[in-house]
């Protein structure tokens, strides 16, 4: 990753490290872990050897001593190796760092063997502190922040096109997740266009010419392969027209653009607004996960009125004590407009939960406070986020 120093720190003991392809998991492990044995399951010879005989892992580890580190990269290729890892972890007291870019196969019995024994870590595209002086909000929104792209944005278009074709081929076809790419390719194109909007699966089925019954399965694939995540609706019963539908966000703006087939088109400001939401959500999820703050993230939408992009529940209500939330509104615009805070002010006046903080993040340069709402330029907000000042 050259100039990029990653925010995540390795743990003292064994861990899983899950993240989408291309986020830099393997390079991070090589830089951070002094492994006595490094097994890359993308290497065809090693893959064939261990897929035929998983117990071969015990032989490879026979000379290691207690406390030595073993790295297994892309474990989803051979989930059965986790049986051997379980034995070696218990009997030889080895430390394991195990990466994966898909949780699909691991949802079966093998992963349960290590539940509670290995810490579950997540890896993301480059975050604000990792980008450092290379941070450019417009580039991040147009092409994302995968390490290979952030090194040289002039190569972003071919890299993103290659990323998508590799994902479709290696994660889906070769792993027999789906048999026919054509309907899934149509589906993912529509998902890219509707990224970050209220999810209507009937519309997506119609636009992609895919059966409605198949749509849930396809979204499950995107979740399991870490390509995207739901943001559920917040329904506190403050208004009669609270939207119940979730939103679905792909994990990186550049991937959104590739999926939508817009790599060679100039992006409209409305679409860039959804890209901005995608980027901030990714930064927020990275900060929360890598600092072990397991707060839920929602959206709050009033039909034909207003939408608050993210409601972070930092404290759940317990007994007679109120819950606490932080409100985040993302605006692709340089100059503050009063309508930006309309929804936040209305929510605050009615909320049963304490609003610990309310923030608008924009692409302008002015840092403001309007009626108790903090207006942030993107870079200043992200610095405050990773300094622990936004969600604590």
Q: What is the pLDDT of residues 125-177, one digit of tens each?
A: 999 999 999 999 999 999 999 999 999 999 999 999 999 888 888 778 776 67
Whether 137 contacts 378, CB under 8 Å: yes
Choose among 268, 54, 388, 78: nearest CA to 260: 268
Q: Which residues pair with 249 in a beta bridge?
A: 229
Counting Cα atoms < 13 Å in the Cβ hemisphere of 54 gives: 15
Choose among 148, 138, 14: nearest CA to 88: 14
pLDDT of residue 59: 96
In the structure, how many helices (H) and strands (E) does the chain have? 16, 13
pLDDT of residue 207: 97
At a CB cut-off of 8 Å and minimum separation 6, what does 385 contact?
128, 283, 284, 287, 391
DSSP 353: S
CA distance 358 to 379: 17
Q: Which residue has the tokens 């939103």?
A: 247
Order of strands across the sheet that contains 247-250: 247-250, 228-233, 296-302, 306-315, 324-331, 354-362, 373-377, 368-370
Residue 325 DSSP SS3? strand
pLDDT of residue 349: 95
pLDDT of residue 296: 97
Q: How many CB atoms lie within 10 A of CB 265?
A: 10
CA distance 213 to 186: 15
CA distance 335 to 366: 8
CA distance 274 to 270: 7
Start-to-end Cα distance in the chain: 29
Alpha-carbon separation of residue 144 from 64, 138, 151, 153, 294 (angstroms): 41, 9, 11, 9, 24
Please state whether beta strands 228-233 and 37-40 pair in parallel, antiparallel, or not at all (unpaired): unpaired
Provide the greatest CA pair distance for the chain.
67
Which residues does the chain have with pLDDT short of 70? 1-2, 105, 107-116, 175-176
Residue ranges of the domains in the chain? 15-122, 128-276, 282-386
Burial class (CB in 10 A: 0-12, 13-18, 19+), 34: exposed
Give the containing element (helix H, strand E) for 307.
Answer: strand 306-315
pLDDT of residue 242: 94
The torsion angle over the Cα atoms of residues 270, 138, 357 and 6, rounded to 10 degrees, is: 140
Q: Which fold has domain 15-122?
A: Rossmann fold (3.40.50)
Whether 299 contacts 308, CB under 8 Å: yes
Residue 223 DSSP SS3? helix
Pick the CATH number of 128-276 from 1.10.260, 1.10.10, 3.30.70, 1.10.3470: 1.10.10
At a CB cut-off of 8 Å and minimum separation 6, what does 41 contact?
47, 50, 72, 73, 74, 75, 77, 78
Phi/psi of residue 300, each to 5°?
-125, 120
Whether 8 contacts 19, CB under 8 Å: no
pLDDT of residue 1: 42
Q: Which residue has the tokens 């005989």?
A: 53
pLDDT of residue 166: 87
CA distance 124 to 183: 28
Choose among 124, 110, 115: nearest CA to 75: 110
CA distance 264 to 290: 34
Residue 170 DSSP SS3? helix
Whether 323 contacts 309, CB under 8 Å: no
pLDDT of residue 330: 98
Length of the chain as a residue count: 392
């Amino acid at each position: 990753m050259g100039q990029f120093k990653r925010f995540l720190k390795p743990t003292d003991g064994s861990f899983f490290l899950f993240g989408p392809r291309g986020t830099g998991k393997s390079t991070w492990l090589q830089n951070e872990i002094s492994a006595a044995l490094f097994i890359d399951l993308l290497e065809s010879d090693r893959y064939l050897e261990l897929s035929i005989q998983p117990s071969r892992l015990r032989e490879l580890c026979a000379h290691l001593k207690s406390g030595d580190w073993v790295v297994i990269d892309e474990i989803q290729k051979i989930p059965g190796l986790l049986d051997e890892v379980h034995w070696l972890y218990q009997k030889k007291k080895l430390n394991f760092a195990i990466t994966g870019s898909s949780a699909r196969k691991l949802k079966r019995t093998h992963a349960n063997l290590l539940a509670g024994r290995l810490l579950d870590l997540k890896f993301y595209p480059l975050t604000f502190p990792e980008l450092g002086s290379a941070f450019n909000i417009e580039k991040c929104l147009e092409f994302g922040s995968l390490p290979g792209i952030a090194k040289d944005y002039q190569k972003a278009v071919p890299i993103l096109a290659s990323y998508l074709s590799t994902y479709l081929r290696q994660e889906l076809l070769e792993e027999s997740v789906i048999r026919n790419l054509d309907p899934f390719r149509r589906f993912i194109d529509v998902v890219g266009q509707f990224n970050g909007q209220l999810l209507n699966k009937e519309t997506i089925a119609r636009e992609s010419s895919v059966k409605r019954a198949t749509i849930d399965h396809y979204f499950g694939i995107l979740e399991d392969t870490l390509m995207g995540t739901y943001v559920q609706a917040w329904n506190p019963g403050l208004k009669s027209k609270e939207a119940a539908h979730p939103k679905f966000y792909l994990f990186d703006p550049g991937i959104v653009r590739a999926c939508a087939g817009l790599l060679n088109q100039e992006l409209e400001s409305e679409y860039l607004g959804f890209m901005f939401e995608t980027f901030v959500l990714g930064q927020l999820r990275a900060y929360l996960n890598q600092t072990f703050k397991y707060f839920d993230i929602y959206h709050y939408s009033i039909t034909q009125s207003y939408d608050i992009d993210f409601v972070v529940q930092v404290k759940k209500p317990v007994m007679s004590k109120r819950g606490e939330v932080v409100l985040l509104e993302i605006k692709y615009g340089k100059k503050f407009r009063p309508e930006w805070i309309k929804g936040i002010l209305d929510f605050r006046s009615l909320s049963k939960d304490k609003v610990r903080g309310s923030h608008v993040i924009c692409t302008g340069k002015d840092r403001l406070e309007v009626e108790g709402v903090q207006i942030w330029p993107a870079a200043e907000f992200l610095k405050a986020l990773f300094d622990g000042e936004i969600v604590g």
